[in-house]
Every structure is written in structure tokens, then in C-alpha cells.
Amino acid sequence: MTSGIILVLSGILIGAGFALVWRDIRRSRRQAFLSEHDTARVAEADVEITMARPAKATQAAKSIASAIGASLLFGRKGGASDAAPVLDQKAQEAVVAEWSAAQPPLEAGVGKINALLQQAEISIAAPGESAWSYKNHGYGVYRRILIGEESVAWLRLELAPDGVLHARVKAHKDDRSEINASSQVQANALDATRAGDLLAECLKPLAAHVAKTQGPANPPNLASAKAWEEIDAVVAAALTATNGALSQAGARLVPLDAPAWHAEVNGHRLPLAIEVYGKDVARMHIDHRGSEVEVAVGVPDALFINLGRRRRIPVAGLATHPLAEVIADCAWPVISRSRDSRRSA
């Protein structure tokens, strides 16, 4: 008796299972479409006229579209780069948090670069919405790069899961592919200077392209202005230290103008006057010459030409104290001579 009941229940369950499967199959089939005019004809024939339902865009389809877009934009190909590890939610949140922390120095860097490239009419536009790239290679934004009012390229700023901040420039048109470039920096030590360096590095080909296409109208001092900006604070501190020491001798160094491009030195120059007891006795130039800073002193009287000095110090590792020593060493001969002349008078 018990066995019979079990068999009956099993049959009921099996039948219910087949019914569910059959229902799902029927739901997944395309619905038939018949016009009233053809109902009679179709009824006699073994024919089914169907109309497919509009397909809904799935997340998989969106991912495929994003992949195609990324490949077209930045030329990614299948291979090792596509083998990025799948990030869990905690890892993604960590990257997003680090990206958020990097925004203030990044914005400061963009401001510095825009000010530097203003004369060339090159600018980085406002950012779009932050988002993950295809396969979570990195989290970041797209920004347009403009020449005047024309958008010429995309700038992708993207933080990778390994903590490296990438900047990539991709031209809109193939005939401007020479401006494509990339650079990177560790995000954990990012500040305005490093952010500016990151952007300047990947915008160098664009600046060169603008210089070539616009000709003499484009200012030739863009790279030099950036180079001087990197040493400006050290030069200012060295001059302050030098003037503090020279004040005891009644002397001081007075800037005559802001640092500016000079073609003869192929770099920026800061002109200064050397004053002794309020009298202008000589001129000093501090020049940025490629990998070196040159300090030179010249005198107006040819009889004292031997008092002129010229010394150089490497830009790499430039610090306040060594530069102040070079400045004081070049200035002191003419200062000493002027002091002696004043005493003898």
C-alpha cells in the first residue's frame, strides 16, 4: 500500500516538472502572428508565421559595445592586457576611493598646464563622469583637449588597480596620430607638481604639433616656461638666502623683471641688478640652459672685466643652499671692489 502511494506521488511530481518545463519552452518561443484574412488558408496548411519580439539590451550586450568602443578609441587588442584580474567589490571601492583622493592635485595640475599652454590656445576641458573602463582595467574620466574652440583629442585619466595613474591622449582624427601619447605616475604620492608633470609629458607631442602647424605665431617658450617653473621656487629661496648674507655688506640683488624667454640662451632668464649701498654697480643673469642653471655677472666698465663671473650648476638635484653659494660667489668680486672704492673715496 505504502509503495503504491509513493509511486503515485512520484508520478504527480514528475508530471508537474514536465508541465513547468513545457510552460517555459512555450514562453520562450516566438508568438505567432496571423492576419484575419489568412486565417482560413493557414488553418489548412502546416505553416506558422512568426514575428520576433524586440530584443532587450542585456548587460552582456552593453559590455560588448563598450569593448568595441574602447578598442576603437585607444586601439586595445586582445592579449595580455585583457587578462586583468576580476576585482571584487571591496577592491573596486578601494580604487574609487583612491581616485577621489587624487582629484584635488589633478585639478591643480590641469590648472597649471592650462595656464602654461594658454598662449598656444591649448586647453584641457572639464571632466566627464567617472567610470570604469572595459574589464575594469581602471577607473577614471575622459576630458576633451581643445585647440582654441576645436576639440582635437580625448584625454583619458585613469587609475589602475595597482595604484598607477595613467594619462593617455588619443586624437580624434588619424591624420593627427602624431599627438597620441601616454604617461604615468604613482598615485599615492600625487601632488600638483607631479600631476602637472604627468599631463605635460603626454601633451608634449601636441605642443610640438601646434608649434609646427602654427609656425612663428606660436610662442617658442612653452617647454622653457615649464622648465623654469620647476626651479622657480629654488631660485627664489636661494636669492632670499643670498640677500640675507649680503645685507651685512650693504649689498643686495634686485630682480629687474620676471623670468622670460631669451632666444640666445634657448631658455628663460631672470635679470638682476647688483646694488652696493644703494648704487647699481653690475648686472647678474640667472639662466635656465637645458640641464643646467647658469649664473653670470657682467660689469659696465671694461677696466673691471676681470670681476665678471660665470658658473653653472646642474638642474638635477638643484637645492637652495648650493645655488645660493654659486650666486654669492659670482656676485662677491664686484661687491668687494665697489666697497673698496667707496672706502677709498
The pTM assigned to this predicted structure is 0.43
Calculate the dihedral angle through the C-alpha atoms of 82, 88, 89, 95, rounding to the nearest 10 degrees: -60
* Least confident piece of the model among 52-66, 244-258, 315-329: 52-66
Q: How much is the average pLDDT of 97-121?
A: 90
CA 187 – CA 105 distance, rounded (Å): 10
Percent of the chain beyond pLDDT 70? Answer: 70
Strands 164-171 and 260-262: unpaired
Which residues are paired to 139 by β-bridges? 132, 159
Confidence at residue 81, expressed as pLDDT on a 0 to 100 scale: 44
Q: Name, in order, each residue with C-beta under 8 angstroms of 160's C-beta and a sequence gap of 6 or more.
A: 95, 137, 138, 166
Domain ranges of the chain: 88-219, 225-344
Q: Quick check: helix, strand or coil at residue 132?
A: strand
Confidence at residue 183, expressed as pLDDT on a 0 to 100 scale: 94
Confidence at residue 16, expressed as pLDDT on a 0 to 100 scale: 53
* Least confident piece of the model among 2-16, 237-251, 309-323, 325-339: 2-16
Q: How much is the average pLDDT of 231-254?
A: 94
Which residues are paired to 147 by β-bridges? 122, 150
* Least confident piece of the model among 75-89, 108-122, 296-310, 329-343: 75-89
Q: At 304, which amino acid appears?
A: F
Chain-wide mean pLDDT for the chain?
78
* Least confident piece of the model among 7-16, 72-81, 210-219: 72-81
Which has more pLDDT, 264 or 44?
Answer: 264
Confidence at residue 136, expressed as pLDDT on a 0 to 100 scale: 77
Whether the per-residue pLDDT at 73 is higher than 60: the answer is no
